[in-house]
Chains A and B, each alone.
Chain A
Amino acid sequence: MATSFRAELRRGAVVTGKWKQGIYRVERLLGEGANGKVYLVQRDRSWYAMKIGFDAIDLQSEINVLQTLAKQRKQGQEAYLYDVDDMYAPDGKKYPFYIMRYVRGLRLAEYLKQQGPEWFPLVGLNLLNKLSKLHEAGWVFGDLKVENVLVADYGHVELVDYGGVTANGKSIRQFTEIYDRGYWNCGPRSADPGYDIFSFAVLCIQLHEPKRLHQLTAELLPQNRSSADLMEIVGASPALRPLSGWLRRALDGQFRDGSDAALSWRLLLHRKDTHRPSSMPRWLKGLAAGSAVLLATSVYWLLRNVL
């Protein structure tokens, strides 16, 4: 596009905010989004993530969303946005940046590869809960995809890249084709909770059958793309088949919102757990183990906060 970003920040580079004089030392590049780069930085011996925007208006628009979210944040929740400022890069140009909480974690696909696929149902549930919190506050995440989900220890989920977050009823600000409801002729490209849940369903397919999904997008004529094609992949996949009822509802927009979808996801796992113990897939056992760990962690936190 018109703006090209050459300002590479090296390890050890010091960034000083133009307006508030915050000083940050750059550690390494964490990732690159649609509208900026994210670096790991240090200030006063604490780690943060710094997003540098390619375009001031574009980044500010994202910051506005984050600031509104911060105002809606309930007590006890950890702060997400710490600082907003401008910097001068080594090339002499001015770039806007903001400082956010650094989330230690792995990208979703990597996490499941390392920790095992039995973590998938729990991670999925945590992700749905995360989305439903956004939905309750009147927002839609928008650009939900495998790359934008970080998983920390014990399946704790964080969403990254808030560039797509859109207020209910407006047009989705940023999306990725294969996760997009409109791309599959399954509904409008405007923000409602069902938009995220659709993307979540595609994310499940992308995690388990990435090759088939890619093949499908290459084969189908645009006007013929439909949720039935996605369901065909689900039906042919042993890992996805147990979820097929849930996925069909997600793709057809039958869930009211994130919490409805999360509830149904939980019930589904639970029901299979009790009724068909013999055919219980490995990952369902993982869910039980995961829940136990989660419970233990919650109890630990509870005690720690009380004492």
Chain B
Amino acid sequence: MATLTHQDSATAEQLVITGGARKTFITIIVAGVVVLILGILAQVMGWGAEEHAAAGEATGHLGASAGHGAGASLHEEGSSTLVKRIIVSLWHSNVFFLGVSTIGTVFMAINYVAYAGWSVMVKRISEALSAWIIPGAVIMLVVFLLGRHDIFHWTHEGIMDKGNPNYDAIIAGKSGFLNLPFYLIRTIVYLAIWAFFSYKLRQLSLAEDQLGGTVWFHKSINASALFLVLYAVTSSMSAWDWVMSVDTHWFSTMFGWYVFASWWVSGISAIALTAIFLKQAGYLKALTSNHLHDLGKLMFGFSIFWTYVWFAQFMLIWYANLPEEAVYYNQRLGGFEGHYTGIFFFNLVINFVFPFLGLMTRDAKRQMIMMKIVCIAILIGHWSDFYLMFMPATLKGESGFLIEIGIAAIFLGAFLILFTRRLASASLVPVNHPFLDESIHHTT
């Protein structure tokens, strides 16, 4: 009988990362490397023909029938596509993991500002999620500086100079916003804001653990409120910069929300999934199905929110059918000989239909197994949502899955190592949080 005040009060719990867990993370990275190497081999040797069969790529046929001469020229093309695929995959996975990582801080900040008590039980998870921001930021800057030409059309030489053979009047018209110094400054500002507030909130939270008192709570609320205002602007702008500007000619006013919705629902799923894993490993003793129920409601609701934003963007473009806008969906629905048609519909099914039907009942949200399945589906689904945002613009019909999944697995393994290390570096229960009792006695 779940009622108030009958539970034991929570005490500090220290996560111990077992050798088995560490081995699992390393295995994920190794598996990623193996898949990546397989993907590289497939690309170089032209086994990609199978992968690209759906795209009906002519190169495969050429490679099979033509002699050495054609083979050599193919190789050259293949290797440049190869580099491109690796760089775009790095960017793609990094944007996804960096976004999810930041959502940890955003989730915590929203709960602070709302004076929410129930979420205190998972607060340390959201704090630890942001452990990836700094490495993610470094990777982002390095990939941008080294590989920007393979990702962003607007960085091409001479594209904004009149008279140059590369000149593109539309892109030149955007040079006030999309130019290298301003872009770099913006990116660094977003990352610095996110990293600073993640650090700040984490420090306040740790000080609260050590010293107690409500002063840390009030300081956290101030920091959170400021962060949320800044995040509202930077999340939207980073979506234009990092994601939308790969399709330089195209624009959508919904895009900031669309990317945020993707990050946000993935971040909540990551928090819920971690909470379940910790609970099943015997930690978070005061976490009950009531907390899972609330996380499940958020996942359910924001899956619908994502769909709403997705559809709002799709339907207006579909209805107006203006060529410069509709090209975005032409490429994804049937373009490149149907290369993306399958993943386009897969994306809708796994990100909307599955969470919608799967989490509809109360029991489903309160059962670990169902929540676990849906969490994993949402994380995979939104990774492929970002796949669909990046690939058609950068790789046209050349994208595949082996390299992309390999790189994503390497990111996942590295992410988990840093994430769990931060989880283990403090008590899993913020023992001095003023709302801790409310969270322990939370009923839904």
Do A and B interact? no
Residues of A within 8 A of B (CB): none
